[in-house]
Structure 1
Amino acid sequence: MNLDDAQHGAPQAPEALDAVAGHLLALLHGDRPTASAEPLASWRSSAAFTELEVTLTELGRSRRRRVQAEFSAFGETKSAAAWAEDPRFQVTAQVLVQRVATGMRVTDALTLPATKLRKPEERAALQMQFIELLRTGDVEVPEARDRLGIPRSTLAAWMRNNPAFDAAVARAGGQGAARAQEAVLARIRMGSTLTGAAQRSGINLRRINSWRRGDPAFERSLRTALARKRGGREPV
């Protein structure tokens, strides 16, 4: 049962709905979700549910940081707002909270020059753009990251701190690779050489060779398609 089924009135067991609702509420409040993977599996087949998980995780993390925003440095412990009012430092409370949340030491978070940080909803929107770009199959993680201007360290922090985003990236990468592989195979079946299929599909040959080494199923399909194109025997 996916999100579209639920929206069209398909029946759901109350306990399953409670588990999913509790999971989403936990994300929103910044708590650790307790729902098992089983009731969530079918819902996660929906891109809308994935987007909701990613967005609520970011909002929850922001809420948790605001609630727990008290820090110790230079022999003092006080709230982020109080640190922001300290004339020794030129940093806002929000920047301090977000920096510490990414793993930066409090002393560094207070003293390093301020940089522009995205709001949770802006960060979630960029994360969804990244996921959708991977899902197309046109690019892999490094190219998608560079195309959207996401620093390597920022992407690593997102994946480390947001399990829903991390899982969505893995799924999107798999879906994109499958789509790109099929595009290459389809070109070969229509008569293209491997090089020609790569060029017409916009897929780098290095990427195809990586699939051949790491994906036995793709390698078998490719060998079969090439053999049929040449009129030879299919590999056993």
Structure 2
Amino acid sequence: MDADDPDTSAALHEAAAHLLALLHGERPATAPEHLAAWRAAQAFTELEVTLTELGRARRRRVQTEISAFGETKSATDWADDPRFPVTAQALAQRVASGMRVTDALTQPVTRTRKPEERAALQVRFLALLRTGDRSVPETRDLLGVPGSTLTSWLRANPAFRAAVERAADEGTARAKDAVLDRLRMGSTLAGAAQRTGIHPGRISGWRRTDPAFARRVDTALTRRPGGAGPA
């Protein structure tokens, strides 16, 4: 990519503006076709996911003005007050949910992940999905992410949702190729599942829903040395 080319330079500026807006907690009106092209690069999708999370947290901190005990100040300022055991993010979320402000300030809260921690976990989730070793639910369970939490992430962060779809597709394609390679080397279906670490149920599901994959499996099984079936 030639940065001196006018078209390339314009694209770089537009992508940078998109990411900067996310960091500021804004919702940029970026053309879908541009997003699709940029998201083909893993580095962009991971940065987009991270900046979206940081921007959402920043917007909650900056925009939330809360009145209590005769004072009005931001959630960040309340959180800095040593009288109250609450973080800015938790306070803003509590008030938004309808909790009485005095309770939101004074009731202890369990520890919540910081935005950067949440973003790092999401990036780790994407990296594991791309390997193809596990399905989305299996990856979620491996990382100890509750199903309701993953659903919330997908709903709140469109960049993460798009990245999950792409990573799952990439991982599935890689896993299918690994299974086929094992079959071509003479493994049975059970042996291929064991050697690749892919659950047999996933392989069975692919054979039911992907006719092209099913045909390739059947061909590999009939051609493997000394075998003509799916044992």
TM-score of the two chains, using structure 1 as the length reference? 0.80
Among 122, 136, 145, the alignment partner of 2:117 is 122
Q: How do 1:72-151 and structure 2 match up within 5 A?
A: 80=75, 91-99=86-94, 104-107=97-100, 110=104, 113-151=108-146
Q: In the aligned structure 1, how far is the partner of 2:107 from the partner of 2:202?
A: 40
Among 170, 184, 189, the alignment partner of 2:179 is 184
Q: In the aligned structure 1, how far is the partner of 2:196 from the partner of 2:25?
A: 43
Q: In the aligned structure 1, how far is the partner of 2:184 from the partner of 2:6?
A: 44
* CA RMSD in angstroms, aligned pairs only: 3.0
Q: In the aligned structure 1, how far is the partner of 2:95 from the partner of 2:220?
A: 53
* Deviation at residue 92 of structure 1 after TM alignment: 3.7
Identity score, percent? 62
Q: Which residue of 2 aligns with 1:161?
A: 156
Q: Which residue of 1 aligns with 2:31?
A: 36
Q: Is the 8 A contact 2:61 2:76 kept in 1?
A: no
Q: Which residue of 2 aligns with 1:53?
A: 48
Q: Is the 8 A contact 1:22 1:35 kept in 2?
A: no
* Deviation at residue 194 of structure 1 after TM alignment: 1.0
- Cα deviation, 1:4-44, whole Å, max 9, x if unaligned, reads x46xx574614323321221122111111211122233322
* Deviation at residue 90 of structure 1 after TM alignment: 5.3
The letter for the 2-side match of 1:116 is R
- Is the partner of 1:168 in helix, strand or coil? helix
- Cα deviation, 1:41-85, whole Å, max 9, x if unaligned, reads 332222111111011101110111112214699xxx975468767
Count, aligned residues: 221
Q: Is the 8 A contact 2:62 2:76 kept in 1?
A: no
Q: In the aligned structure 2, how far is the partner of 1:123 from the partner of 1:78?
A: 26
The letter for the 2-side match of 1:188 is L
Q: In the aligned structure 2, how far is the partner of 1:43 from the partner of 1:83?
A: 39
Q: In the aligned structure 1, how far is the partner of 2:190 from the partner of 2:32?
A: 42
Q: Is the 8 A contact 1:159 1:165 kept in 2?
A: yes
C-alpha change, 1:203 and 1:25, in structure 2 (3 Å) is same
Q: How do 1:192-211 and structure 2 match up within 5 A?
A: 192-211=187-206
Q: Which residue of 2 aligns with 1:226?
A: 221
TM-score of the two chains, using structure 2 as the length reference? 0.82
Q: In the aligned structure 1, how far is the partner of 2:123 from the partner of 2:150?
A: 12
* Deviation at residue 231 of structure 1 after TM alignment: 7.5
Q: In the aligned structure 1, how far is the partner of 2:53 from the partner of 2:62?
A: 15
Q: Is the 8 A contact 2:62 2:74 kept in 1?
A: no
- Is the partner of 2:162 in helix, strand or coil? helix
The letter for the 2-side match of 1:106 is M
C-alpha change, 1:105 and 1:206, in structure 2 (3 Å) is farther
Q: Which residue of 1 aligns with 2:169?
A: 174
Q: Is the 8 A contact 1:69 1:79 kept in 2?
A: yes
Q: In the aligned structure 2, how far is the partner of 1:188 from the partner of 1:12?
A: 50
Among 54, 63, 67, the alignment partner of 1:68 is 63
